[in-house]
Amino acid sequence: MLEAQGGGCFICGRPAREDSSLHVDHDHSTGAIRGILCFSCNNALADFQDDPTLLRKAACYVSANSPGVEEEIQLARRRALSLVGSGTGPGAG
């Protein structure tokens, strides 16, 4: 799975470091593994309660208020939506 993700976090691409490991992310309601995330991205999903609506609102907020980072936001949005669209995200099954 890590190799398929390019050796780093599924969302930001950051590889494991000595001071920050990668974590196996899973759907807390089903237990299904979704991917491997860095500590920061894993915590961010938890902070947003794995809610795709909140994540989309946050991405729109950042996009509207941070000119020049739209390409990075679009990449993160596509990665997040691929998790939700994989059938293992919140509300699946």
Task: Say how many C-beta atoms besides its own lie within 10 A of residue 10's C-beta.
Answer: 23
pLDDT score of 53 = 93
pLDDT digit string, tens, across residues 27-72? 888 989 999 999 999 999 999 988 999 999 998 888 887 666 667 7
Domain extent for 74: 22-86
pLDDT score of 8 = 92
Q: Is residue 7 part of a domain?
A: no
- What's the CATH code of the domain at 79? 3.40.1800.10
pLDDT score of 93 = 46
Cα 89 versus chain centre, distance? 11
Q: Is residue 1 part of a domain?
A: no
The CA R_g of the chain, rounded to the nearest whole Å, is 13
Q: Is residue 81 part of a domain?
A: yes
Distance, CA of 74 to CA of 1 (rounded, Å)? 23
